[in-house]
Chain A
Amino acid sequence: MAGGQVTQKAYEYDRVIEFTQSGGAMDQALSDLQKSLKELRVLINECEPLYHGKGQTSPVYNQYKYLYNNIGTPSSGLWNQVYGAVLLQNDMYTNAVNDRDKDQG
């Protein structure tokens, strides 16, 4: 074949960009999860004054503590996994954009 080089996309990066961009399907799913996690934390917070034990040695105090630990922070629990998913989404988006730009010269 004379002239030019035939290139083939390794994957449909346009679709990956659409999926991972702000407001895309993956972003929406992760946002929904974060919204629910916040609502769960607020509900537990509201439960505490209505049902609690005496002091920090009561069994119910410890269960609240474990529950909060499961919700966690960017370095622990569910929020840690959410943070990992956010980093992954950013990475996939960035790579797809770079691949598109490379392809388009």
Chain B
Amino acid sequence: MEVAYFDESEAKMEKTPQTFNNFIYDNQTDGGCLNKLDETAKKINAVRGNIDALHARYRELMAIYDKFTRYDETMEKIIRTMTTQIEAAEKHFNNIVSTAQQAINEHMTTDTTLMSDLEQLNSLLSAGSAE
């Protein structure tokens, strides 16, 4: 019996980066890349929270069984792997922010208005490492 919700089309969607023929750091468009990076950082944290919530539900469920089941081991493995994956995702996201910082640093010599962008990117990285 299949009862669990599964977003198959989203899961199966090919996930590859778009290829561009130029460098763009867009802080002019409404919202700009800083806002989008900030939203992405928050969403990564939301996914982490969802994994923690799922783990809590698993533990409640396991308490219903009065003996060891093979489910327990499988569930813990799923949660461990999910945690590893979201931590790796966060690391790669931080690397994206770092590349933006480097790019801005290079442009700072000619455009000092980017100083505030640099500060915001620094705070994005600090927020991530503080958790």
Contacts and interface: CB of A to CB of B under 8 A. Distances in A.
Contacts of B95: 59, 63, 66
Given A29-B53, A33-B47, A47-B37, A71 B89 contact: yes
Interface in A44-93: 44-56, 58-61, 63-74, 77-79, 81-93
Contacts of A49: 18, 20, 24, 26
A58 to B, nearest CB: 8
A89 B1 CA distance: 10
A5 B60 CA distance: 31
Contacts of A19: 57, 60-61, 64
Residue of B3, B33, B50, B65 with most chain A CB atoms under a 10 A cut-off:
B3
Given A39-B43, A85-B54, A92-B71, A20 B25 contact: no
A40 B51 CA distance: 14
Majority secondary structure, B binding face: helix
A32 interface: yes
Interface residues of A, number: 72
B33 A47 contact: yes
Interface stretch (B6-14, B108-116, B122-130): B6-14
B55 to A, nearest CB: 9
Given A49-B24, A71-B89, A74-B11, A65 B36 contact: no
A86 B75 CA distance: 11
Given A29-B53, A49-B24, A63-B96, A34 B12 contact: no
